[in-house]
């Protein structure tokens, strides 16, 4: 099988648990280091699937690789090569597929509950019993649901947390987090919240985010297992 291409847009926003999951299931992967100036590949058929991770930039920024990435997403969807996006990656997918990315009413940083939507589509991606659970968040923008896609997850602070379009899955939230990634991101907390006029309930402190990681992270990975397990079923052989 061809490898999965994983796009990294920022040095501390690597594939995390997503790579661990692929390796556990015998799926090879290759890292495209956008943050180090690597070019976006043109041919989606060189890969069994394509994954986009997060990043601090906006998909509305005038960066050449963003145009190349959205074009690749469209070609992948046309070629039936599965695409999955995490946070910025989900926003890239939404923009590529006809949605819009705008500022969310509030920043959402830390652990927070999401609820399943979309009925049968949600059960396909999450299983029968997963209707409300906790995931990790770190974003200030949000996407609209692209034409033809189905909303899969929502939260109190962000209506569109995940969507599915056939075998393609875009997320605003993060299910790829590891304990180390969370601790690394907490070092950027001051920079992220310095522009806020006041603390809001959707923004947790580093102390709140690292509390109970020994139980929260495994629970998050159990959710990721369901999503990633469904996604890899569509990988190009």
Domains of the chain: 4-232 (3.40.50.880)
* pLDDT for residue 129: 72
* pLDDT for residue 37: 97
* pLDDT for residue 130: 80
In this structure, the strands spanning 29-33 and 4-8 are parallel
* Residue 198 CB neighbours (<10 A): 6
Which of 87, 95, 103, 106 lies closest to 175, judged by CA? Answer: 87
State yes or no: pLDDT of 119 exceeds 80.
Answer: no
* pLDDT for residue 199: 62
Where is 207: in which H helix or E strand?
helix 206-209
* pLDDT for residue 120: 83
Across the chain, mean pLDDT equals 94
To 5 degrees, how large is the angle CA 101–CA 105–CA 108?
Answer: 90
Q: What average pLDDT score do residues 62-67 get?
A: 96
* pLDDT for residue 59: 97
Q: What does the pLDDT look like over 27-37, one tens digit per residue?
A: 999 999 999 99
Cα–Cα distance measured from residue 216 to residue 31, given in angstroms and rounded to the nearest whole number: 27
pLDDT band, residue 197 (cuts 50/70/90) = very low
Q: What average pLDDT score do residues 49-58 get?
A: 97
- With a CB cutoff of 8 Å and minimum separation 6, the contacts of 7 are 32, 34, 40, 50, 51, 52, 53, 69, 89
Cα–Cα distance measured from residue 117 to residue 163, given in angstroms and rounded to the nearest whole number: 9
Q: How far is CA 60 from CA 64, 101, 176, in A?
A: 11, 7, 24
State yes or no: pLDDT of 192 exceeds 70.
Answer: no
pLDDT band, residue 125 (cuts 50/70/90) = very high
DSSP symbol at 34? G
In this structure, the strands spanning 132-143 and 150-155 are unpaired
Q: How far is CA 90 from CA 59, 68, 108, 122, in A?
A: 10, 15, 15, 17
- Percent of the chain at pLDDT > 70 equals 96
* pLDDT for residue 191: 72
**Locus of tokens 């590891």:** 178
* 161 vs 130, higher pLDDT: 161
* pLDDT for residue 190: 75
Cα–Cα distance measured from residue 55 to residue 209, given in angstroms and rounded to the nearest whole number: 19
Range with lowest mean pLDDT among 9-23, 119-133, 159-173: 119-133
Q: What average pLDDT score do residues 18-32 get?
A: 98
Instruction: Give the three-class secondary structure for 184.
Output: helix
Report residue 21 as tokens: 């999951």
Task: Using CA atoms of 142, 146, 151, 156 in order, give the dihedral in degrees to the nearest 10.
Answer: 20
Q: What average pLDDT score do residues 34-61 get?
A: 97
């Amino acid at each position: 099988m061809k490898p999965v291409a994983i796009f990294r847009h920022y040095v501390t926003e690597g594939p995390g648990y997503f790579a661990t999951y692929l390796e556990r299931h015998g799926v090879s992967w290759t890292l495209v280091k956008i943050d180090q100036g690597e070019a976006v590949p043109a041919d989606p058929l060189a890969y069994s699937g394509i994954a986009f991770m997060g990043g601090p930039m906006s998909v509305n920024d005038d960066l050449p690789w963003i145009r190349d990435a959205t074009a690749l997403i469209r070609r992948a969807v046309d070629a039936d090569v599965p695409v999955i996006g995490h946070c910025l990656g989900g926003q890239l997918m939404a923009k590529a597929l006809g949605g819009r990315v705008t500022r969310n009413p509030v920043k959402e940083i830390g652990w927070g509950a999401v609820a399943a939507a979309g009925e049968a589509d949600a059960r396909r991606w999450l299983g029968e019993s997963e209707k409300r659970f906790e995931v990790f968040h770190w974003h200030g923008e949000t996407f609209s649901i692209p034409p033809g896609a189905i909303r899969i997850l929502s939260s109190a602070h962000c209506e569109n947390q995940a969507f599915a379009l056939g075998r393609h899955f875009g997320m605003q939230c993060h299910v790829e987090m590891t304990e180390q990634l969370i601790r690394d991101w907490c070092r950027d907390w001051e920079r992220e919240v310095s522009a806020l006029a006041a603390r809001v309930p959707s923004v947790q402190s580093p102390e709140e985010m690292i509390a109970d990681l020994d139980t929260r992270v495994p629970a998050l990975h159990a959710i990721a297992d369901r999503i990633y397990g469904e996604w890899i079923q569509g990988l190009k052989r």
